[in-house]
Each structure stands twice: as C-alpha cells, then as structure tokens.
C-alpha cells in the first residue's frame, strides 16, 4: 500500500491504538475495584513492560502487515562501529544536564508526573526499574520513531528530525515531557541519520533514561535511609543549620536564614543552568566530531535517507498540501491533554 504521508498516517493509527489500550486498562482497573479486587500497577511492573510492547510494538507490526511492508526495509541497519558507540555514550552523558534543566523549568508550570511515578516506585529493585523505564522504551520507541517513522518521512534531514521530535513528544501524552522529548527526538533522529543505524538511537535513549532512573532511585533511597527513624523530615534550612551550628553558630544562623528565604526550585534551575552551559557546549563539540567521522566513513550527503525523486528543472514546484493526518494527531493530543482540566476531582 503506497501512502502519500505514511509517517503521519501511521502516527494517527499508533496514537489511536495506544489510547484504546489505555482505555481498556482503565476499564479493567475500574472493574477490579468494583469487584473489590483492586489492581495496583505499581506492584506489577512487568505489566508496564507488556503495555509498551502491546501499545507500541504490536501496532507497528500490524501496520506492516496492513501495508504489506517489511520490517527490515524500515530499519536503519548499518553496523554502528566502536568509534560511534563511544561517541554516543559521551554525548549521552553530556546532554543529561540540559535535559534535567528543561525538566526543572517545565516543573514550574506543570506537574512532573515522571518524578512522582519514580518516587512512588523507590522500593522496587533498581534492575526492574531499569528494565521498565530504560531498556524497554529505549528499544521499542526507537524501533517505532527512529525506525519506521523516520524511514518514511521525506524531505531534508532538518525537516525529518523536527517532525520526528514533534511526534515523539506527542506520543508521551504528557505536557511536562513535551519539550525535552521534542529536543531528544531531534537529537536521536540526527544520530540515526548520520550512522544509518537504529542503535544510534537505542544507546543514547537507554543511557539517558537509565541515568534518570538511577539518580532518582539513589536519591530516594538516601532520603529514606536518612530519615527512616526520624519523626519529621528537616528542611534544607534546618539541615544547613545543624551542619554548621556546632562549629560556627553565627554562620549557621545566616545559612538558615538564606536557605529559608531562597526558592529551591529556582536555585536548582540556576545551578543546573550553569552546569548545562558547559556540558551542552561539550556535547556540541563531540557532535561535530561525530558528524565528521560519519561523513568520512560513509560519505553521506546531507539529503533525506528517503529522498524523493527530484522534479525536472522546468517542472513547477508542488503546491503546499495540508497534512490532515498530522492535524488529526495534534487534535487528539490536545484533547487528551486538556480534557483532565475540565473533569471535576
């Protein structure tokens, strides 16, 4: 089946399929509650892995069957190489502070649902959380977005990357995640484009998610261990005072007053911002080396990996056509995101 906008049509199919799965899960949880056999997904993290496989990977294979297409044709499968693997690891580490900064700024406007979820799972084993939030999405989401969708988007690499990042952000259905998933989607798209390897998306995706999970798990573990026997959790101001009071009471009092009046969220953003400036600059430098290496390695030209046939010189340019499939995707996203604000608690 030949479609004019295969990526947009598939994205609409994928989004509707994913919402149906979510609706079905909600109905099942509601029915279990009515039958007085409540289901807590937090106690069954393997179900969350299954949901990702059914909600994202299954529709991809169904779509390939419907369109009579092949999996291999839509997956960049060039060998990655050791040099690229090392550069990808370095870039993944360097981009984390910028991602954390964007997340912290977004938290000023909308609830960080991911942080809340990770905090609620702090008693779960680290390896299981890595499997759920790093390994599975790192593979499944890359096969879908940097695999099929990117392979079926026509145009320049800039257009491909921006559209890919936009669709990747939409699929998360979470306002807090929108900006940083948009940015990461663009970065992953460029990485896969230059290497022609789906592993160039899987590796950084896994590492960035894994670092976030590890930091959250470590931080919550430290908090729980520190205050396991405490009757209350001291504030930052109280902690600073207790640290310096035995040796310098005057300084301890000033530290207490400063910490009491400071906005912790803004302080965190400031610290992350300073750190992110340097690490992002480092990322840019490594990315330039990464691009240069791959251009020399494969002599890639800066054209789409699915470049359309170029028109003859005397052929008039094609008129702009509205991508109504993409309009439908955006409309569904806005409905899902805005709808909870109109539902009474």
Q: Over the stretch 149-158, which tens digit does the pLDDT of each residue have?
A: 999 999 899 9
53: nearest Cα among 15, 18, 10: 18
Q: What are phi and psi of 115, to 5 degrees?
A: -65, -40
Give the list of residues 6+ apart from residue 42 with CB closer than 8 angstroms, or none.
120, 121, 124
Tell me the percentage of the chain whose pLDDT exceeds 70.
Answer: 83
pLDDT at position 310: 41
**Does residue 312 or residue 186 have the better pLDDT?**
186
pLDDT digits 0-9 by tens, 180-219: 999 999 999 999 999 999 999 999 999 999 999 998 888 7
pLDDT digits 0-9 by tens, 223-254: 555 444 445 556 666 766 677 778 877 877 77
pLDDT at position 247: 80
User: Does the pLDDT at position 259 exceed 70?
Assistant: no
pLDDT at position 316: 55
User: Does the pLDDT at position 313 exceed 70?
Assistant: no
Average pLDDT over the chain reads: 85
DSSP 3-state of 77 = strand
122: nearest Cα among 229, 42, 52: 42
Other C-beta atoms closer than 10 Å to the C-beta of 154 total 15
| Residue where the block lists tokens 């609409």 | 12
User: Does the pLDDT at position 300 exceed 70?
Assistant: no
User: Does the pLDDT at position 311 exceed 50?
Assistant: no
**Does residue 29 or residue 201 have the better pLDDT?**
201
User: Does the pLDDT at position 307 exceed 60?
Assistant: no
- For the segment 268-294, the average pLDDT, to the nearest whole number, is 94
pLDDT at position 120: 79
Are 102 and 114 in contact by the 8 Å Cβ rule? The answer is no
Are 169 and 160 in contact by the 8 Å Cβ rule? The answer is no
**Two tokens, residue 310:** 């170029």
Please tell me which of 121-130, 218-227, 306-315 the model is most confident about, judged by mean pLDDT. Answer: 121-130
Please state the separation of Cα 94 from the chain's center in Å.
16
**Does residue 47 or residue 187 have the better pLDDT?**
187
> CA–CA separation, 207 vs 202, rounded Å?
9
pLDDT at position 305: 44
The model carries a pTM of 0.84
> pLDDT class for 43, splitting at 50, 70, 90?
low
- For the segment 83-93, the average pLDDT, to the nearest whole number, is 97
> pLDDT class for 258, splitting at 50, 70, 90?
low
pLDDT digits 0-9 by tens, 95-128: 999 999 999 999 988 888 888 888 878 788 899 9
**Does residue 257 or residue 83 have the better pLDDT?**
83
User: Does the pLDDT at position 306 exceed 70?
Assistant: no
Tell me the percentage of the chain whose pLDDT exceeds 90.
Answer: 56
How far is the CA of 260 from the CAs of 60, 86, 165, 271, 311, in angstroms?
Answer: 52, 44, 40, 18, 66
**Two tokens, residue 38:** 């409540």
**Two tokens, residue 265:** 């969220």
- For the segment 150-170, the average pLDDT, to the nearest whole number, is 94
């Amino acid at each position: 089946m030949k479609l004019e906008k295969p990526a947009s049509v598939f994205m609409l199919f994928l989004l509707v399929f994913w919402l149906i799965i979510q609706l079905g899960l909600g109905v099942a949880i509601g029915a279990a509650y009515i039958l007085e056999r409540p289901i807590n997904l937090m106690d069954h993290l393997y179900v969350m892995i299954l949901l990702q496989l059914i909600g994202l990977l299954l529709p991809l294979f169904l779509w390939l069957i419907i369109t009579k297409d092949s999996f291999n044709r839509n997956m960049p499968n060039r060998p990655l190489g050791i040099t690229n693997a090392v550069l990808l690891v370095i870039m993944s580490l360097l981009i984390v502070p910028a991602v954390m900064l964007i997340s912290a700024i977004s938290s000023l406007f909308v609830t960080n649902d991911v942080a809340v979820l990770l905090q609620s799972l702090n008693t779960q084993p680290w390896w299981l959380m890595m499997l759920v939030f790093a390994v599975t999405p790192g593979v499944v989401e890359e096969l879908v977005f940097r695999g099929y969708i990117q392979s079926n988007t026509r145009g320049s690499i800039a257009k491909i990357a921006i559209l890919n990042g936009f669709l990747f952000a939409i699929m998360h259905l979470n306002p807090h995640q929108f900006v940083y998933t948009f940015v990461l989607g663009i970065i992953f798209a460029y990485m896969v484009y230059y290497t022609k390897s789906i592993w160039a998306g899987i590796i950084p995706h896994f590492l960035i998610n894994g670092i976030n999970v590890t930091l959250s798990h470590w931080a919550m573990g430290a908090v729980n261990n520190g205050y396991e026997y405490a009757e209350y959790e001291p504030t930052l101001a109280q902690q600073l005072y207790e640290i310096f009071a035995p040796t310098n009471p005057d300084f301890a009092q000033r530290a207490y007053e400063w910490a009491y009046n400071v906005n912790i969220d803004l302080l965190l953003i400031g610290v992350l911002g300073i750190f992110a400036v340097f690490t992002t600059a480092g990322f840019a430098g490594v990315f330039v080396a990464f691009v240069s290496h791959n251009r020399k390695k494969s002599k890639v030209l800066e054209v789409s990996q699915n470049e359309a046939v170029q028109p003859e010189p005397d052929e008039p340019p094609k008129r702009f056509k509205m991508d109504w499939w993409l309009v439908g995707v955006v409309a569904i996203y806005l409905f899902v995101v805005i709808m909870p604000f109109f539902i009474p608690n």
